Structure 1
């Protein structure tokens, strides 16, 4: 029988037993927290292993597609990861490819995409694939976003002194042009229409202006012809995972491109 101690009102209670009960509860809570922490660590370690396996698979795939890029950086989304492994389905796998580039036919210029972020959703990969590093990884949808540098576009235009920039959400240009009729050089400015045609970014300049441009139809015609000479088709380097270009926006850092695809093999059976 537990020892009893007099309370303030003269009665006897079993205070030590209650204290022992509270202590046991605290210990149990601590153990559960430690166990939960270990499970989280194990989950993240397993995710790290899977990320390396998928990165190797994707690296082999983009090599087969003749895409030049740095080693892919893979992040597996969703938590807990281990339940996704058992199901063989993953909420999201994000792939970061750096220095994506490729030669342009008929030109010494190189179109550069410093970073291409690929977000694959509803990904299927069996446990055997992750364990052996061989097998198929597929995604229901894939979206890629990247930025083409303005330097790459200027190199394709191949006109001295041309500068491109973002201007109120549009692609702006500043360029020097020598006007024979005036026997002087003017600095002209304007904005372009930017559209998508297959794997090309189409940049069209129709009209340029200058503060020093005289009200002379002959001079204006010459400048408009020069504007059309600045127009260019920018072919993107081969995009991995059958990504199809569908949107281009002018940003301060360059031309932001968005591409997408459905039912994509991130890797093929080895």
Structure 2
């Protein structure tokens, strides 16, 4: 009896077993979560590569499928947001640079149109010249150039450099350019001070952009050092 009092029996360690079960359950849950995340990232990467491959005819693009999880988006048949960027691209034999596009509600079935597109790109000066030659009537010997953030038509007259200041405007699927100033050598003249028969050939020059994907329209346009930066918006846009 004395030994029993001196060395009492220890109760079963139920708490220890319960703690082990909880830890095991947590590890299992974390493993499952990590597995789902890993699978989602694999699908994400595969989807981005597939989209990039489908865009190869237009140029080398970087594609980022945004939002999580991608698995549920794929199961629903529509990707929430896809961002596409490219240093250079070509569409309908027209060159673009610095392409940055955000696509919303992108269908997994590529035969269906994209919900909404917000994009920007630069049309190089050489491309503007080609488009103007093809879709408008430029004065002979004139070409587009940019100076200090402004767009100009450049040529020569009477042995002196001729610069015609241009104000580009975005109108739906057209670029409309109007002359604002004329500079011949060191002399500059406001276009409004000249009679219309002298300025008719450099006013309301329309560059048609009907080659753009159906559903896209111009929302803004501005001159840069390398060309014209255009902003685009559209709904129900299809590249087919």
Q: What TM-score bracket applies, with the shorter chain setting the length?
A: 0.5 to 0.7
Within 2, Cα distance between the matches of 1:161 and 1:121? 37
Residues 25-78 of structure 1: per-residue CA shift (max 9 Å, x gap): 77766665554333222101112233344456x559xxxxxxx62266543221
Asked if 1:258 is matched to 2:231, the reply is yes
Query: Which structure features the higher share of strand residues?
Result: 2
Instruction: Give TM-score, length-normalised by structure 1.
Output: 0.59
Within 2, Cα distance between the matches of 1:166 and 1:48? 42
Within 2, Cα distance between the matches of 1:99 and 1:40? 33
Counterpart for residue 164 of structure 1: 146
> Cα 1:137–1:96, aligned 2, differ >3 Å: closer, same or farther?
farther
- Mark the runs of 5 or more structure 2 residues left unpaired by the alignment: 1-9, 133-137
- Mark the runs of 5 or more structure 1 residues left unpaired by the alignment: 1-12, 61-67, 104-110, 130-134
Instruction: Report the secondary structure of 1:242's partner residue.
Output: strand
Instruction: Give TM-score, length-normalised by structure 2.
Output: 0.65
Within 2, Cα distance between the matches of 1:255 and 1:209? 21
Question: Shift of residue 117 of structure 1?
Answer: 3.5
Aligned residues: 219
Within 1, Cα distance between the matches of 2:161 and 2:186? 7
Question: Shift of residue 148 of structure 1?
Answer: 0.6
Higher relative contact order (CA 8 A, sep 6+): 1
What is the root-mean-square deviation in Å for CA atoms of aligned residues?
A: 4.4
Question: Shift of residue 204 of structure 1?
Answer: 1.8
Contact 1:92-1:120 at 8 Å conserved across structures: yes
Asked if 1:122 is matched to 2:105, the reply is yes
